[in-house]
Amino acid sequence: MRIGLDMGGTKTDAVALDRDGRIAARARIATEHGADGAVATALRALEALDRGGAARRPASIGIGVPGQIDGGRVRHAVNLRVTDLDLGGEVERATGIPVRVENDVKAAALGASALRRGARADALSEGASRAADADVIAYLNLGTGTAAGIVAAGRLWRGAGGAAGEIGHLSIDPAGPVCVCGQRGCIETYTGGAAIARRWGRGGELPVRDVFDAADAADPHAVALRDGLARGVAAAVRLLVLAVDARTIVIGGGLAALGDRLLAVVNAELIPSGAASPFIRSLRLAERIELLPPASAAAAVGASLVGRGEPVASSPTLRT
Amino acid sequence: MRIGLDMGGTKTDAVALDRDGRIAARARIATEHGADGAVATALRALEALDRGGAARRPASIGIGVPGQIDGGRVRHAVNLRVTDLDLGGEVERATGIPVRVENDVKAAALGASALRRGARADALSEGASRAADADVIAYLNLGTGTAAGIVAAGRLWRGAGGAAGEIGHLSIDPAGPVCVCGQRGCIETYTGGAAIARRWGRGGELPVRDVFDAADAADPHAVALRDGLARGVAAAVRLLVLAVDARTIVIGGGLAALGDRLLAVVNAELIPSGAASPFIRSLRLAERIELLPPASAAAAVGASLVGRGEPVASSPTLRT
């Protein structure tokens, strides 16, 4: 049994995978904040999984965390209110089980890739050959911020120092809005949930959904924000194809809950730009997009794969 | 002995590598255009190498060509005036030696990576382990057009369909110049030798050098073009770091001959943007850039590595 935990700012999703890669147990619990809270959350998630007896004596634990990871240490996980914590070491000492920690978007990318492959082969089983599938899959996370994870032949692409996939901070317009990172016109200023909420400025629990509703009612500010989101996502898709030639771009994160409403505006951006260029058209960008289903276990499944040693987290993960 | 040919629109650079990866012979000849011309050029290059006796009975031939490659076929190699040619098959039939063909920028990327690794280890020798070096190197070709090749652990990253590295057609400004591809503000509209020459509009044999000279003399049109080139190259560097986290970006192609004059303006673009963001600053972008030395044999050396079966060219290479 392999445990995977996806620790979000609000909830933690936990799965136990059996040797055949099947989800034997799943639990969702509230996340506690702070260093002690994060460790306690991990231990409570293990208990919750164990309630059904499925997660007894797991071989490994993997944890996906929204922050910068350096070895097993978590640094600057703002949404967890953790600035520096040896989360892997603490959970390992408390349980006696080997623990690996990875950035949540990278873990989710691994999970999304494995779940897609799992539909065709037994990709999640312990004996699965990683090299069998040479597909390049990018996972584009549209959450509070924007980042991607790239998986080739079932392996996470981390790059020289773990910055691979941090495409939210590439500028697509020198006259665009100022980003929290200090640059102008970063993709994340158009696509980040926090950036959209800030520019919308009307509060609400689901500000991006409110923007879409108001845009449907022809509110000009909302239309501008919705069109900007579409432009930013389309730019991210083009970038993931022209830089790494991802065959499939799986869109996940909170904004993926917009479903077809999101896809419709993104496709409207991608298809005209394709029509202008035979080269871009030949890439069939719109056809490469898939939405992660709501309540997908991809992030927790990916964390369990991290736990079993895939990938070897040898270099630090950089996050803003 | 392994032969590598880099077939450019004007000249063809040919090398013969011995088993230890040393350049045993090198020759430069004029390129003939058209389908028959391309085949004749390859055969003349082999003769030129053979003159010293070094290239007798090579084990393989690899050819880098500025165009779209589909298996061994060359398609749309505009600078060679070739629209469709089984170059690999023709040269193989004429010589009895196995031939592989690859896009020239991708071959050059492989060569630039191998030459860098060769300085530290015996990376070019037949027995060299490719996995020994997990470095990610990007080769950014600033020639008539702009494209990159990405090499990880000594292997070319082609992506799902060979489009990986075609970053010249990513837009960095929705209000930018119209690109030959039909989009606006593509990186190549700022950095492509052909695009700069067109926008400069004064002819000359080395229009980009003329632009730099005129910019030094404060010609405002030239200053705008030079600053645009710097912005475009800086955007390409950021992109290659934030998408794939290339540890080193080797700049080659005709514009690399500008040397320190090019580096100075690119660094001036990269360093202020870094200063605005601790995250971008932490990536040390300017420090990652290297210029390919003038008259480097990287492209022909890379072609010889393609010839020895590295990489397996299983998917088509897309070019505009």
A10–chain B Cβ distance below 8 A for any pair: no
What pLDDT is recorded for position A57?
A: 83
- Residue B105's nearest CA partner among B57, B148, B75 is B148
Q: Which of A173, A174, A243 sits opposite B164 (nearest CB)?
A: A243
B171 in reach of chain A (CB within 8 A)? yes
Residues of chain A with pLDDT > 90: what percent?
Answer: 71
pLDDT band at A319 (very low <50, low <70, confident <90, very high): very low
ipTM: 0.89
Q: With bands split at pLDDT 50, 70 and 90, how would you rate the model's confidence at A271? A: confident
The pLDDT of residue B311:
42
Domain A130-291, architecture per CATH: 2-Layer Sandwich (3.30)
Q: Parse chain B into domains and list their residue ranges.
A: 2-113+297-307, 131-291
Q: Which CATH superfamily is domain A2-113+297-307 in?
A: ATPase, nucleotide binding domain (3.30.420.40)
Residue A6 has pLDDT above 60, yes or no: yes
Q: Which residues of A touch B175 (CB under 8 A)?
A: 173, 175
Set of chain B residues whose Cβ sits within 8 Å of the Cβ of A240: 243
Q: Does B320 touch chain A (CB under 8 A)?
A: yes
The CATH code of domain B131-291 reads 3.30.420.40
Tens of pLDDT, residue by residue over B71-94, are 778 988 888 999 999 999 999 999
Backbone angles phi, psi at A72, to 5 degrees: -90, -5
Distance CA B213, CA B195 (A): 18
| pLDDT tier for residue B227 given thresholds of 50, 70 and 90 | very high
Interface touch B181/A238, C-beta < 8 Å: no
Residues A300-311 have a mean pLDDT of 85
pLDDT band at A253 (very low <50, low <70, confident <90, very high): very high
What residues 237-296 of chain B have any CB closer than 8 A to a CB of chain A?
A: 238-247, 273, 276-277, 279-280, 282-283
Give residue B315's pLDDT.
32
Q: Which residues of A touch B171 (CB under 8 A)?
A: 172, 235, 238
pLDDT per position as a tens digit, B128-182: 544 433 579 999 999 999 999 999 888 899 888 889 999 999 999 999 999 988 8
B150 and chain A in contact, CB less than 8 A? yes
Bigger pLDDT: B185 vs A76: B185
- Given a cut of 80, whether residue A81 has pLDDT beyond it is yes
- Residues A173-228: tens digit of each pLDDT: 999 999 988 889 999 999 999 999 999 999 899 999 999 999 999 999 999 999 99
* A189 contacts on B by Cβ (under 8 Å): none
CB atoms A167 and B238 under 8 Å: no
Q: Do B242 and A167 touch (CB under 8 A)?
A: yes
Confidence of residue B125 (pLDDT cuts 50, 70, 90): low
> Which residues lie below 8 Å from residue B202, measured CB to CB, with a gap of 6+?
B210
Q: Tell whether the model's pLDDT for residue A122 goes beyond 70.
A: no
pLDDT at B122: 52
Of A175, A282, A318, the CB nearest to B282: A318
pLDDT over threshold 90, residue A298: yes
Residues 300-319 of A with CB under 8 A from B: 318-319
Mean pLDDT of chain B: 89
Range from A61-75, A164-178, A184-198 carrying the lowest mean pLDDT: A61-75
Q: Which residues of B touch A174 (CB under 8 A)?
A: 172-173, 231
**Chain B contact present for A78, CB below 8 A:** no
Report the SS3 class of residue A217.
Answer: coil
Domains B2-113+297-307 and B131-291 share a fold: yes
Overall average pLDDT of the A130-140 stretch: 70
Q: How far apart are CA B161 and CA B157, in angstroms?
A: 10
- Give the pLDDT confidence of A275-292 residue by residue, as tens digits: 777 788 889 999 999 999
pLDDT at residue A94 greater than cutoff 70: yes
Of A169, A174, A279, the CB nearest to B279: A169
Residue pairs between chains A and B whose CB atoms are closer than 8 Å: 151
Work out the pLDDT band at A272, boundaries 50, 70, 90.
Answer: confident
User: Residue A77's pLDDT is what?
Assistant: 87
Q: Which of B119, B167, B118, B120 is nearest to B139 (CA)?
A: B167
- The stretch A57-81 carries a mean pLDDT of 89
Beta bridge pairs of residue B137: B151, B248
Spatial separation of the C-alpha atoms in residues A158 and A149, rounded to whole Å = 8
At A316, the pLDDT band (50, 70, 90 cuts) reads very low
